[in-house]
A = this chain, B = another copy of it.
Amino acid sequence: MPRKGVNVVEPLRGPAGSVRTPVSAKSTLESIETAAAILASSPIHQTPVLTSESLSTLAPIGTTLLFKAENLQKGGAFKIRGATYALSKLSRSELDKGVVTHSSGNHAQALAIAAKAKGAKAYIVMPETSAVIKKNATEGYGAQVILSPPLAEDRERVCQEVRQRTGAYFIPPYDHYDIITGQGTVVLEMIRQAKELDKPLDALVVQVGGGGLLAGSSIVAKAHGIPIYAAEPELADDCFRGFESGKRIERVVTSTIADGLRTPVGTRNFEIILEKVEGVITVSERQIVTAQKLVWERMKMVIEPSAAVGVAVVLFSEKWKSLGIKGNIGVVWSGGNVDLDAPMPWTVIKE
């Protein structure tokens, strides 16, 4: 079932020391709590936690589902958290040189928005195969988009050129402790909100692509004694295979509909995940789009396919069911950025 937009994604490589990123401490519960305090005084939203009787009854008996609605976050995804926190670590003179990243997705928009809020220039390297709508959206947030050929080495070279020309700092999409720390605030917030709703979480299910969100979430979850499971598309199951073998898979070739998850898990991310996560559960393309449609239909919320992967696990996975986990299950909706002019994903994916 190959489709247009097949991505070959590898971690950014290059000569040692060629990647200038701000020095950052390893992610911990404490650093995530600090990040949450910093984000609280930024324009980032505290997104709501939503429940749905209708969806909960479709999950295994004894389940109450809670959804963290990061689709309602600024920029339409959780990515703004990591970007904003990473930028908060830069000095004024560093900010004045600007920031650079490569992304065709939510991280691009997030960095553009976060940089604008700090009065910093953002350079976004995008594959020239990116949809015009994404390029326009990123430029709409004030960033400068630089197109590159789609291969990882070309992208890297272009990124490098921008860095050399401008002195901009490289803020990678996921394989960076400040990004991991920033994304960890999603679940920190959710755990508190669930308690306030009198539905303290018994387990968490968080999707994994590069692993920024999952790694940050797992640090918080483990520290709170809440078991956390990863959700991944079968078609991009590098985290699952890496987790089973204990060795990170470095390359992913995939056309999963969950376009935010078409990346291999990062090195820093994988190390954390291996230590903190209970297991990785995969779901089919059909399960992903069926879950996505159910959320639109029953909850009237627009979520993107990547955001539906965790929902698909708790609704449809036999493996999840066999674990027999009951109670208040937290699922993160990672984003809501969908091309509304394209056919809806559930009308495209047939089995």
Contact = CB atoms under 8 A, between A and B. Distances in A.
A301 to B, nearest CB: 6
Contacts of A165: none
B336 A341 contact: no
A76 interface: yes
Contact of A300 (B336, B341, B346, B347): B336
A72 B71 CA distance: 16
A300 B297 contact: no
Contacts of A344: 340-341, 344
A302 interface: yes
Interface of A: 71-72, 76, 293, 296-297, 299-303, 336, 340-341, 343-344, 346-347
Contacts of A341: 344, 346-347
Nearest to A302: B300
Contact of A301 (B293, B301, B340): B301
A344 B347 CA distance: 11
A155 to B, nearest CB: 28
A322 to B, nearest CB: 29
Given A71-B300, A300-B303, A302-B300, A346 B336 contact: no
Given A72-B299, A302-B302, A341-B346, 6 more contacts: A76-B300, A293-B340, A296-B302, A301-B301, A340-B344, A340-B346
A301 B300 CA distance: 6
A106 to B, nearest CB: 13
A346 B269 CA distance: 41
23 contacts: A71-B300, A72-B299, A72-B300, A76-B300, A293-B340, A296-B302, A296-B340, A297-B302, A297-B340, A300-B301, A300-B302, A300-B303, A300-B336, A301-B301, A301-B302, A302-B302, A340-B344, A340-B346, A341-B344, A341-B346, A341-B347, A343-B343, A344-B344
Contacts of A297: 302, 340
Contacts of A76: 300
Nearest to A292: B340
Contacts of A71: 300
A177 to B, nearest CB: 30
Contacts of A296: 302, 340
A118 to B, nearest CB: 19
A301 B341 CA distance: 16
Contacts of A302: 296-297, 300-302
A335 B302 CA distance: 15
A76 B72 CA distance: 20
Q: Which 10 A-B pairs have the closest CB atoms?
A: A300-B336, A300-B302, A71-B300, A296-B302, A72-B300, A296-B340, A297-B340, A293-B340, A300-B301, A340-B344
Contacts of A72: 299-300
Nearest to A50: B72
